[in-house]
A and B are shown apart, each in its own frame.
Chain A
Amino acid sequence: MKKNKLFTFTGRAASLILTLALLTSAVPVSFVHAAALTTLSDTMSSLKISTVSNHDILFTTPTGITTGQTITVTFPGSSSIAAALDFTDVDVLINGVQQTLAASNGASTWGVVRTSATVLTITAQSGGTPAAAGNTVRIKIGTNATNQSTGVRQVTNDTTIGQKSIAIGGSMADSGSLSINLITDDTVAVSATVAQAITFSISANTIAFGTLDSAAARFANSSTGSASDVVAHTLAVSTNAPSGYTVTIKGDTLRSAQNTNNIITPIGATPATSSVGTKQFGIYATKTGGVNATIATPYVTASSFGLDCSSTTATTFSSGTSPTATETYSLHYLANITATTEAGTYATALTYVATANF
């Protein structure tokens, strides 16, 4: 009886082994081999501790990623993924092709979820082939993510300096880690000083009217005077002073060397056109180049002359309120006399002063 039972048990065991052997040979079984991710890298916008940074993580998956598998990106220690960071702050590219992202995965959509302050979980699409073996996977996190929308939330770096590790894992077959080196400050202070300067030039130191005439206006030039309105000389100013510049004019009117009481009347602050047969001494100017200087009222009207200064009082000739390239002023001088103007040698000295504004 005992012998029969032993025989029966041996027979059943042999049958079971045989059945299993047949099943094993009939049903195909595949084996998954986990591998290490290759060519891992992370380009960060800042390596400074406790500072928000973008991440641009790149790796190659030797095995590939199948539907629904997850990729986890685990940041080190006290790093902090922005609490509201979501799929709009992330781009995922497989072999350079942007993937459609959402809060959870779908048939052709990858899901992105901030699992914790240090873990970001990306779930592969549930249809098709998410990533074949040997594909590159690129994950952009932060403001560098621009595919569906431009990211606004980033990851704050760990609070301590030194080498840190970012782990890439999840339910996908492959895994790996990469190292980053955080430092106290990743910026270099660069400074330079631009010195303020002002340049002033004048084209002539002596101009002349020649012999004045009560029957015709005379205009000064650098020779012996002119019967027509001409440019007597030029002034040129340029400066990089932020507050701009001012040119003032100071000097007497034409005065007789023989009798200093005899003068050619200065026209004054209100511009006036030439009036032959009356005493007049005045100036007007035109400007070319530069940006914004304004010629003062007595001198700004073409063909109308003014002179509003004295040997003791300087008045503004022109001024500007910002830096400027060269502004060139062309100055015209007029002198008229009456028939009874005392004979003599009439002359004067005018000084133009250019300074920056305070």
Chain B
Amino acid sequence: MRTATSTSIVRKIASSVAMFLVFGVANVQALTISPARLEMYGDPGKTISGEFLLINEQENNQTFYTSAENFEAQGETSTPNFVSGTDGLASWIEVRKEVTLHKGEQVKVPFTVTIPKDADAGGHFAAIFLSTVPPASKGAGEVAVGAKVGMLVLLKVSGEVKEGGGIVDFTTKTKKSFFTSLPITFAYRFSNNGNDRVNPTGDAVITNMLGLEKVKLPANQGLGNVLPKSTRRFEIVWGNDAPQYPSFFDTVQYQASHFALGYYHVSLNLSYGVSSKASESLSVFVFPWQLMIVTLLGALAIYFIVSRLLKRYNRWIISQATHQAKE
């Protein structure tokens, strides 16, 4: 039942691509793989098994070829950097070499991971790829273009797993502390000195000058991991839907609908690993001067109109009284 539901959902996700197939340019490869990221656990010397779902989104039969590569963190992003090699998790994975799917067909492909007895405890990372083999270039000035889609495998090998790391820094993305409007993007860098991936979770709590909570934002909305011996940068956005090229009044409207004024304290509280915690804080000041100007002008206009009306009323009252006195 659960599998059927998952398959249905995966098909819905892929439906937009299928629509592209029907109404747009015919693709020579269109493949869905699920899950896109698989977390596995195992003991040294053991063989564990898994499976993934493939859906051929093409209008014709297609053979897909499998391969595996290890990956590591690329800089401070969440982008995997695939590295060739004959060892590591990629070499522990056994999966059938090719899979032929009829148009629209979906199959579950099993695979195994044989963990060596001397495998290091902690995290090991690889991807299983599916691709059509690009045809060899033959003519002059030709470019063969191939496409591969991969499933990330995040394996944790049991044993003495070291846990270490924390928040390296916590700033605003622009390094500024004065803003005229939301959105404000906060950024923190989290380092992992351990030997397994960590998944920091927690919130950034924003409080106003009175100490009242303004908003609580998830610190790792993408559920991203920090790989061992690496640092990853996460961003937290306060406010959204800001106009891209705002006019003065677009800005005023946005400042009114996403109102923020004054000093705000931002407290970042994270949990990671088994029971580790980390926290940092910063402060920002928001002064929406465009909104303030419009508000001030509006108040002056009301004051001017009301005072004029009062003067006119007073004159009318006095004239009425004078008229009655003469009578």
Contacts and interface: CB of A to CB of B under 8 A. Distances in A.
Interface of A: 192-212, 218, 220, 225, 232-236, 238-246, 248, 254, 312, 314, 316, 319, 321-322, 325-326, 328, 333, 335, 344-358
A357 B78 contact: yes
Given A197-B10, A314-B82, A243 B222 contact: yes
Contacts of B53: 195, 197
Contacts of A210: 140-141
Contact of A193 (B2, B14, B140): B2
Interface in B1-52: 2, 5-7, 9-10, 13-14, 16-17, 20-21, 24-37
Interface string B127-148: 1010110111111111111111
B149 interface: yes
Nearest to B35: A196
B129 A199 contact: no
The 10 closest A-B pairs by CB, nearest first: A347-B137, A201-B30, A197-B34, A356-B36, A209-B141, A357-B78, A243-B222, A202-B147, A195-B6, A200-B149
B295 interface: no
User: Is the contact region of chain A dominated by helix, strand, or loop, or is it mixed?
Assistant: strand
A204 to B, nearest CB: 6
Contacts of A248: 79, 82
Interface string B224-262: 110100000001000000000000000000000000000
A353 B13 contact: no
Given A196-B36, A202-B29, A348-B144, 8 more contacts: A205-B135, A210-B141, A234-B24, A321-B235, A344-B140, A355-B150, A358-B152, A358-B224
Given A197-B34, A235-B147, A326 B134 contact: no
B227 A350 contact: no
A355 B71 CA distance: 11
Contact of A203 (B28, B31, B138): B28
A349 B31 contact: no
Interface in B186-226: 197, 221-225
Interface of B: 2, 5-7, 9-10, 13-14, 16-17, 20-21, 24-37, 53, 55, 57, 71, 73-74, 77-82, 84, 125, 127, 129, 131-132, 134-152, 154, 197, 221-225, 227, 235
Contacts of B77: 319, 357
Contacts of B79: 246, 248, 316, 319, 357
A344 B6 CA distance: 52
A332 to B, nearest CB: 12
A310 B134 CA distance: 16
B142 A347 contact: yes
Given A193-B2, A220-B143, A238-B16, A348 B154 contact: no
A232 B145 CA distance: 10
A193 B227 CA distance: 25
B28 A354 contact: no
B55 to A, nearest CB: 8
Contacts of A241: 36-37
Given A321-B222, A355-B127, A355-B151, A238 B13 contact: yes
Contacts of A200: 29-31, 147-149
Contacts of B145: 202, 204-207, 233, 349-352
A34 to B, nearest CB: 53
Contacts of A358: 37, 71, 73, 78, 80, 125, 152, 154, 197, 224-225, 227
Among A200, A243, A312, A346, the one with the most B-chain Cβ atoms within 10 Å of its Cβ is A200
Contacts of B150: 353-355
30 contacts: A193-B6, A195-B9, A196-B36, A197-B34, A198-B33, A199-B55, A201-B17, A203-B25, A220-B141, A233-B145, A234-B25, A238-B16, A246-B79, A246-B80, A248-B82, A314-B81, A319-B77, A321-B78, A344-B140, A345-B139, A346-B141, A347-B137, A347-B142, A351-B134, A351-B146, A352-B146, A354-B147, A356-B36, A356-B37, A358-B71
Given A195-B9, A351-B146, A357-B224, A205 B35 contact: no
A301 to B, nearest CB: 18
